[in-house]
C-alpha cells in the first residue's frame, strides 16, 4: 500500500498509574499485576484502515522525572499524547496536569495535537475513587484552551474502554477523513445532492422575486431584499395575458401567413 499515515503516540503520566498495562492490554491482550517501573519502551504496529495504512509508534515513558532529556525529546517528536492518571489517586491527576504543562511549554502547536486523558483503574473506582470524571472534564473543557482532546475512563485489568482509547486517536487525528473521505467512520453521512430542505426550497422560490424587485429601480433594491417570500414573490409572478390580446395576436399571425402565401403565388 503506497499511501500511509504515521503517528507517534507518547504516553505520559505518573508512576504506577498503569500506562504499560494499557499498552500491553491493547497490543497483546495481557495484564500483569506485578508492577515494574518503565524506563522507555517503544512499540511499532501497522494497521490497515482501508485506503490507507496507519503506522503507529507507541512510546511508553517513565513515570518519574529521572530522565528529563529523554522526556523532552519524546514530547518534541510526538504526534499525539495519552495522559494517564489513576481514578484512585488524586496525586496522579495532579501529575497529569504537570505533564500537560510540559507539553504546552515545549509545543507551540499543542492545540492541534490529539490528546486523550485516560483515567485508569476503573475497576477499583467503586471502592477507592479519588478523582471524578466530572472534575477532569471541567479541567479539560473549561480551564484549558480549546484542544483536540477526549476524556475517558478505562480499566486495563478488566479490558474496559482500552480499544476506545486508541480509536479516539484515529478520530481526533482525522486520518480516515484525510485518507479517503469515509464519512461513515466518523459518524457523518454525506447528504445526497437530490435532498433539499424545506428552507432551501423556499429560498429557491424566492430568488426570482428578489431579482425582479431589486431591478425595479435605485430605491427598490432595499425593499426587494426585505420582501422575502411575501410581497417579493407576488412581484415576481408573471401577469396572465388577457383573451383579447391573445385573439389579436392570433389574427395578426394568420394575416401574416396569408400575405406570405400571396407573395409566393405572385412570384411563381
If pLDDT is split at 50, 70 and 90, which confidence band does 34 have?
Answer: confident
Distance CA 175, CA 185 (A): 10
Residue-level pLDDT at 159: 97
Residue-level pLDDT at 253: 64
Residue-level pLDDT at 47: 84
Contact 152, 164 (CB under 8 A): yes
What's the sign of the alpha-carbon dihedral 177, 183, 188, 193?
positive
Cβ count within 10 A of residue 175: 20
Q: How, if at all, do strands 53-61 and 115-120 pair? A: unpaired
Higher-pLDDT residue of 41, 210:
41
- Does the structure show a pLDDT above 70 at 229? no
Distance CA 211, CA 230 (A): 14
What's the sign of the alpha-carbon dihedral 121, 125, 128, 132?
positive
Q: What is the mean pLDDT of residues 53-60?
A: 91
If pLDDT is split at 50, 70 and 90, which confidence band does 19 have?
Answer: very high
- Does the structure show a pLDDT above 90 at 140? yes
Residue-level pLDDT at 189: 28
Q: What is the pLDDT of residues 91-109, one digit of tens each?
A: 999 999 999 999 999 999 9
Q: What is the pLDDT of residues 84-93, one digit of tens each?
A: 999 999 999 9
Residue-level pLDDT at 49: 74
Residue given cell 424545506 in the structure block: 198
Q: Which CATH number fits domain 4-186: 3.40.30.10, 3.20.20.70, 3.40.50.300, 3.30.360.10?
A: 3.40.50.300
Q: What is the pLDDT of residues 167-178, one digit of tens each?
A: 999 889 876 544
**Mean pLDDT, the chain, as a whole number?**
75
Amino acid at each position: 500500500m503506497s499511501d500511509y499515515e504515521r503517528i507517534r503516540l507518547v504516553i505520559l503520566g505518573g508512576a504506577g498509574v498503569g500506562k504499560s498495562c494499557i499498552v500491553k492490554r491493547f497490543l497483546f491482550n495481557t495484564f500483569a499485576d506485578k508492577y515494574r517501573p518503565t524506563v522507555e519502551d517503544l512499540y511499532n504496529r501497522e494497521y490497515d484502515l482501508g485506503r490507507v495504512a496507519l503506522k503507529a509508534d507507541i512510546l511508553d515513558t517513565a513515570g518519574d522525572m529521572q530522565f528529563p532529556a529523554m522526556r523532552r525529546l519524546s514530547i518534541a517528536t510526538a504526534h499525539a499524547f495519552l495522559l494517564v492518571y489513576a481514578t484512585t489517586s488524586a496525586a496522579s491527576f495532579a501529575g497529569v496536569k504537570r505533564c500537560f504543562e510540559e507539553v504546552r511549554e515545549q509545543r507551540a502547536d499543542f492545540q492541534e495535537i490529539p490528546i486523550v486523558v485516560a483515567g485508569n483503574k476503573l475497576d477499583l473506582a467503586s471502592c477507592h475513587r479519588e478523582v471524578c470524571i466530572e472534575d477532569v472534564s471541567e479541567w479539560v473543557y473549561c480551564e484549558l484552551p480549546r484542544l483536540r482532546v477526549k476524556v475517558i475512563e478505562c480499566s486495563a485489568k478488566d479490558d474496559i474502554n482500552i480499544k476506545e482509547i486508541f480509536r479516539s486517536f484515529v478520530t481526533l487525528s482525522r486520518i480516515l477523513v484525510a485518507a479517503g473521505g469515509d464519512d461513515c467512520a466518523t459518524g457523518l453521512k454525506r447528504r445526497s445532492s437530490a435532498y433539499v430542505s424545506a428552507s432551501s426550497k423556499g429560498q429557491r422560490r424566492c430568488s426570482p422575486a428578489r431579482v425582479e424587485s431589486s431591478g425595479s429601480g435605485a430605491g427598490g433594491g432595499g425593499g426587494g431584499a426585505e420582501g422575502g417570500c411575501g410581497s417579493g414573490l407576488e412581484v415576481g409572478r408573471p401577469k396572465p395575458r388577457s383573451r383579447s390580446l391573445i385573439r389579436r395576436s392570433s389574427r395578426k399571425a394568420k394575416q401574416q401567413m396569408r400575405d406570405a402565401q400571396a407573395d409566393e403565388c405572385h412570384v411563381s
